[in-house]
Amino acid sequence: MTAKKMIVIGGGPGGYVAAIRGAQLGASVTVIESNKIGGTCLNDGCIPTKALYKSASLYHAMTETAQFGIHVDGFRLDMAGVQGHKQQVVGTLVDGVAALLKANRIDVISGKAHLMSNRQVAVSTPEGETTVLSADGIVIATGSEPMMPPIEGIDLEGVVTSEQILKFDFVPKKLTIIGGGVIGMEFAGIFNAFGSEVTVVEFADQILGQLDAEIVKRYAVQAKKQGIAIHKQTKAKQIRKLENQALVCTCEGKKGDFDIESDQILVSVGRIPRIRALNLDEAEIKYSLKGIEVTEHFETNQAGIYAIGDCNGKTMLAHAASHQAIEAVDHFMGVSHEHSATPIPSCVFVNPEIASVGLTEEALKESGIAYLKSKFMFGANGKALTMGEGEGILKVLSDKDGVLLGVHIMGPHASDLIHEATLALHQALDVNAIKGMIHAHPTLSEAFHEAVLGLKGEAIHLAPLKK
């Protein structure tokens, strides 16, 4: 029996996972990548920003060692070292992905892909050659790119995207960030820790708009204490450059127009699917400004052609792309399994970290769902206090029967703690299923246990609610 041929367009966390899964199931797989294996996540997104986040966190921690009885003098920020660490991490992971593709006997072609009819793909190589490939199935995994709003002066030197700012070789004295979403706030925290005077301009009435409002409100207080200025319900109207090369962003706020002067401006208002160069019209694939239209198995309107990850606009997270890759390839290869909604955790690497899974309290109210709520403060957690990180909260939401519906964390290692909650939601666990599980002491995970027990008024380290 001849192996099915599969083409994957894009070698990011969706594309390379799709390719490896296809190879595992016996397909003959070719990956087409126009830039670097690993995609935006490994090269220009989540991995390099987390490397910078670690450097920033350590640098900030050096200023607070006295509380642990350690006095350090003369430490300094070495930008070449910071960038070197970032590139070493990125290089290691990219090489690892390339090795995995090779080990799975997956062909990798460097070039730009253009979809044609009849499941054909034209590949334009850097050398100027064009090759047409045919396949039984095609997986589109082209990711996304930064959105650039129509602001006058946005093309001025010193105005950068989230991908461009990663290559910085100096810390701007003043940094303005247009956009208070996840990417914007992560960079705000990084540069604030490095010593920049950071100002965030957010059009909506809340930064981190997809998160639970109570968590965001508490984080905003911490951000202000750290020196990050946040202007909500504010529109960036114009950018201009002064004779001294400083950039001025004119903004429209609730009380009228005002100017923000800075050395550099980061534009981080979101990302859009990278699909313009795919030639979707010729392939008769349906799409909109939000992305390529897909079924529950991530198949487009053309049988055998799938779209996963950011390019379908459903959930712009690397781990969502990887999960969609498995679903799509399994469907293409005839591996059947029951399709069900899977809770997707999200993490924001600020200080303190934020992580969330499931429904927010606002979503429950809007849906009219009766719910229970419990909160546990990290200030009452022994491990958090020994770490000097007592600021934070763990919030649990459940239905009236105690089945967990949402968990929202702001605190130390929130990005690690969220996965016990994700498993609980994935398995539709209730309070009784969780309360009998012993959590080691002293650990941060005890905060989740206590918050869950609090749903039924059984938490030991929470004062009883006043009746």
Residue 397 near residue 365, CB atoms below 8 Å: no
Question: Rounded CA gap, 292 and 314, in Å?
Answer: 9
Cis before 48 (ω within 30): no
73, with CB counted inside 10 A (0-12, 13-18, 19+), is: exposed
Residue 426 near residue 344, CB atoms below 8 Å: no
Closest CA to 393 of 381, 410, 405, 368: 410
Residue type, 135: A
Strands 159-160 and 393-399: unpaired
The set of catalytic residues is 441
**Encoding tokens for residue 168?**
């910085």
Closest CA to 446 of 373, 377, 386, 371: 377
Question: Rounded CA gap, 238 and 204, in Å?
Answer: 18
CA 445, 449, 454, 458 torsion: positive or negative? negative
